[in-house]
Chains A and B, each alone.
Chain A
Amino acid sequence: AQSVTQPDARVTVSEGASLQLRCKYSSSVTPYLFWYVQYPRQGLQLLLKYYSGDPVVQGVNGFEAEFSKSNSSFHLRKASVHWSDSAVYFCAVSMWDSNYQLIWGSGTKLIIKP
């Protein structure tokens, strides 16, 4: 069965520092991969998605993610975080053999220190 793991429930980073949020998935085939962000008291917004091609995919607001087939990972990165990046970040996957139903990670809460 497919699954998604976000091993870090909370990540604290200083403003201006770089960021990596981890996501690992379990699947026998390469799935569609997504990162979403949820700001306080709001719905989820798509940051980026990946299926094929260049393993580094660019998203909105300076975010990027790198797909690694060998590690079954899709980590999210940002070179320099801003206080406004404080939010919860969700990784998700979908696959044709599950009728493309999204499988979600448990989320990582990002806290930015001034």
Chain B
Amino acid sequence: AQTIHQWPVAEIKAVGSPLSLGCTIKGKSSPNLYWYWQATGGTLQQLFYSITVGQVESVVQLNLSASRPKDDQFILSTEKLLLSHSGFYLCAWSLLLSGNTLYFGEGSRLIVV
């Protein structure tokens, strides 16, 4: 069975500090991977997606970057956090079959102070 794990579960970080959020998918070869951001209030915003190792497409950057160093790993990062980065970050995987059904991780909550 496929599992998706996000880390950390939650963080409180200072404005201007760096950030790294991670996501690992087990049990599925060469998945498409996604990062979403969810502000308080719930609207989902797709940030990045990747269909293969080393390739990441940006949808909305929000002064963030993403990398896919391994087939099963997706990293979201920034060198300098802004207050506006606060929110809930969701990683998801899919296969293009079946219309690109997404399967989400449990999310990482970020509070920037």
User: In the bound complex, how far is the Cα of B109 from the Cα of A32, in angstroms?
Assistant: 29
- Using A43-B107, A109-B42 as known contacts, say yes or no to A102 and B102 having CB atoms under 8 A apart: yes
> Is B43 a contact partner of A107 (Cβ separation < 8 A)?
yes
Report B15-67 residues with CB < 8 Å from chain A CB: 42-44, 46, 49, 59
Residue B105 at the A interface, CB < 8 A? yes
Q: A27 an interface residue at 8 Å Cβ cutoff?
A: no
| Number of residues on chain B facing chain A (CB within 8 A) | 21
Chain A, residue nearest B59 (CB): A101
Known: A43-B106, A44-B90. A100 touches B43 (CB 8 A): no
Among A45-53, A57-65, A72-80, the one that faces the other chain is A45-53
Q: Which of A5-31 contact B (CB under 8 A)?
A: 31
**Quick check: B107 and A42 within 8 Å, CB to CB?**
yes
**Chain B residues engaging chain A, CB cutoff 8 angstroms:** 6, 42-44, 46, 49, 59, 90, 92, 96, 98-107, 109
Q: Which residues of A contact B (CB under 8 A)?
A: 31-32, 34, 36, 38, 41-46, 49, 51, 88, 90, 94, 100-102, 104, 106-107, 109
